[in-house]
A and B are shown apart, each in its own frame.
Chain A
């Protein structure tokens, strides 16, 4: 059962344009969402996060939007740069009863290619 889904395996965007990566989730208990970026031969790197009490979080060129009613979040990169070319993973976590947990559930990733 894939609780976090990234339905687009790949995305190609021109340099300078907006990149929009999408993610859907099924577990309504998720209360914290993150995006990670991964280059080949490296581990994932934390990019940006959002709590379920917010619907938008911005950090420089990166903005994450959360639509709880639709169980959908998206990552916007503006403007896109060739160095942004990587695999982007969406991840979610839920606070368990009686305590906190950092068990992250990851999507399968979207390969972003930014063309010069």
Chain B
């Protein structure tokens, strides 16, 4: 158990809809990261927050947004969903915002857009 909690585990929704994925980081971790894993793809970095502030952005679509709240949990909002958004979405956390701080991943949310 990594200590990172993601909800829900599975989500099935229709095109055009909006969903919110939630992540609770490990106790004491200040950084939260979101990754997307599509079929046969590696994990694609979406966005990172550190102590409530956006720290780095990857290939995140404009239809997607995220935030980290004062209690350090984070939410990833996906809107105007398309079939291609179907993927595994992982949240990870780390203690610091540095390259010497390995990420700890949750078990992911599997999003299916029909």
Q: Check if A11 is an interface residue, CB within 8 A of chain B.
A: no
Asked whether any CB of chain B lies closer than 8 Å to the CB of A60, the reply is no
Chain B residues with Cβ below 8 Å from A103 are 45, 48, 56, 58
Binds B, one of A13-21, A69-77, A105-113: A105-113
A92 — nearest CB in chain B belongs to which residue? B99
Q: Which of B12-20, B36-44, B73-81 participates in binding chain A?
A: B36-44
CB distance from A55 to the nearest CB of B (A): 17
CA distance A77 to B2 in the complex (A): 23
Any B CB within 8 A of the CB of A93? yes
Q: Shortest distance in angstroms between A49's beta carbon and chain B's nearest beta carbon?
A: 6
**Closest residue of B by beta carbon distance from A39:** B107
**B99–A45 contact, CB under 8 A?**
no
Is B103 an interface position by the 8 A CB rule? Answer: yes
Given contacts A45-B105, A102-B94, A102-B101, 20 further A-B contacts (CB under 8 A): A31-B99, A34-B102, A43-B4, A43-B90, A43-B106, A44-B43, A45-B2, A46-B103, A46-B104, A89-B42, A89-B43, A96-B56, A100-B97, A102-B33, A102-B96, A104-B43, A104-B45, A105-B45, A106-B42, A106-B45
Residues of A within 8 A of B107 (CB): 41-43
Question: What are some 12 contacts across the A-B interface (CB < 8 A)?
Answer: A36-B105, A42-B107, A44-B90, A45-B105, A96-B56, A101-B99, A103-B56, A104-B43, A106-B35, A106-B42, A107-B42, A109-B42
Interface size on B, residues (CB 8 A): 31
CB of A21, distance to nearest CB on chain B (Å): 14
Report the minimal beta-carbon distance from B1 to chain A, rounded to whole angstroms: 10
A108 touches B42 (CB 8 A): yes
- Please report the total number of A residues contacting B with Cβ < 8 Å: 29
Q: Are B92 and A43 in contact (CB under 8 A)?
A: yes
- The verdict on A95 contacting chain B, using a C-beta distance below 8 Å, is yes
3 closest Cβ pairs, A-B complex: A43-B105, A32-B99, A46-B102
Residues of the B chain whose Cβ atoms lie less than 8 Å from the Cβ of A102: 31, 33, 48, 56, 94, 96-99, 101, 103
Q: A44-B43, A89-B42, A89-B43 are in contact. Are A101 and B97 (CB under 8 A)?
A: yes
Mark contacts of B24-65 with chain A using CB atoms, 8 A cut-off: 1 yes-contact digit, 0 otherwise: 000000010101000011111100100000011010000000
